[in-house]
Structure 1
Amino acid sequence: MQLRYSFRLYPSRGQRAALDRAFGCARVVYNDAVRARRAARENKLPFPKIGALSRILITEAKKTPERAWL
């Protein structure tokens, strides 16, 4: 027997802003990872592993003023 549930969420204005920010950050990180893997493929390099990719993306993000954090 398979059960299936359907839920609908109605976030408040503040929750909506927090969700937008979180999904926006996830999208940016995903796009950066795709770009890094595409660059590796174009340069005929092996794909970076997950840990190395995270370090590369975080280091590069800190260098840009719009994404820099303390």
Structure 2
Amino acid sequence: MTRGIYSITHSSTGRVYVGQSRHVEARIQGHFSALKRGEHANKELQRLHDKDGQAGFHAELVEIVED
């Protein structure tokens, strides 16, 4: 489990969602699960996902945060 800051970027627009979590990998997976179900709280992210699917995004760890 990695504690840190992550980003999810929409490839074609360059729009970026930035978040933080104590469990980055699980949190990113949670975002994509919510997007697949059409239930993500961020409506713009959901709209872009509905249009382009998960292939239109990439996620990355921006910074590891030490305890």
Structure with max Cα Rg: 1
More strand per residue? 2
Q: TM-score, normalised by structure 2?
A: 0.29
More relative contact order, 1 or 2 (CA 8 Å, 6+ apart): 2
Larger fraction in helix: 1
State the TM-score, normalized to the length of structure 1: 0.28
